[in-house]
Amino acid sequence: MAADVDVVRKALRATMLADLPITPAPGDCLMISGLDPADVLPAWRTAHAAMPSTGRRPLLLDRAPTGVAFTTPDAREDPWPALARPWWDLPLTGDTPQVPGFLTIDVRRDVPDPTTRTVNRYVYERVRADSGLRGLVPPYADRLTGIRNWQRPERVELLLPPTTEAHLPAAWTGLPPAVLRCWYEQWRAELVAAWDGARQFVVGRRPETADDAFTLACQIATVAGRLEMNLWEIALAVTDGEEWILT
């Protein structure tokens, strides 16, 4: 382990992480302490750039890990059937809160067999295609994308698990490894931080088609149970933002 510490220290020499304490952590991990919570993304990018030398993918945590959390699970399965929300496809009755106040539609007339999924898709298509309508979506409606939404805990630790695979740090996220693998392969979504109840990502590729954006919105909604956004709002957000926070 001392040799591993030396390798990491050498790779991070002359960076913002130089000279910070590096200690062993469970599961053959290393941990860098003493970071400024305001520097989460720059610290992650610095350690990420050093991955070819360290062989370790960085992950920010708000506490030191306990127990051996690092595993090498099989992540090739399709995670979405098991996570599906069947009630999204049940007929809607009564009010339809998915429809924003600035959009006047008759759901029963404009959306055949309205369900949560079909109403949200209809609203998304209408707003996406009309710049005037899109301009009426309040900025605060996007609670998913942008650094402004990221949480900043009082304490941060930079964990370095012994892997460069994007899905293997899943044990600290509460997400299935197959979800991380799927998003990395499709969108180059990489986990930056896992706080208490929040997971923060940077994304290298945005969806370009309506089908891809809405599919991704449904996926995000299935695993972000405290994200207070409608599916159509998420679909709009993922086409604009390159940082996510899932709560």
- Domain ranges in the chain are 2-74+146-198, 80-145+206-246
How much of the chain exceeds pLDDT 70, in percent? Answer: 94
Residue 12: its pLDDT value, please?
97
| pLDDT beyond 90 at 173 | no
pLDDT of residue 168: 86
pTM of the model: 0.92
- Ranking 19-33, 40-54, 70-84, 148-162 by mean pLDDT, the lowest is 70-84
pLDDT of amino acid 245: 96
CB environment 161-189: b (16+ within 10 A), e (fewer): bbbeebbbbbbbbebbbbbbbbbbeebeb
Q: What's the pLDDT tens digit per position in 138-165? A: 888 899 999 999 999 999 999 999 999 9
* Alpha helix stretches (DSSP H) within the chain: 2-11, 40-49, 51-54, 80-83, 107-110, 116-129, 131-134, 177-187, 210-223, 231-238
- pLDDT confidence of residue 72: 57
pLDDT above 60: residue 68: no
**DSSP collapsed to 3 states, 115-160:** EHHHHHHHHHHHHHHCHHHHCCCCHHHCCCECHHHCCCCCCCEEEE
Confidence of residue 71 (pLDDT cuts 50, 70, 90): low
Mean pLDDT of the chain: 90
Range of lowest pLDDT (98-107, 116-125, 201-210, 228-237): 98-107
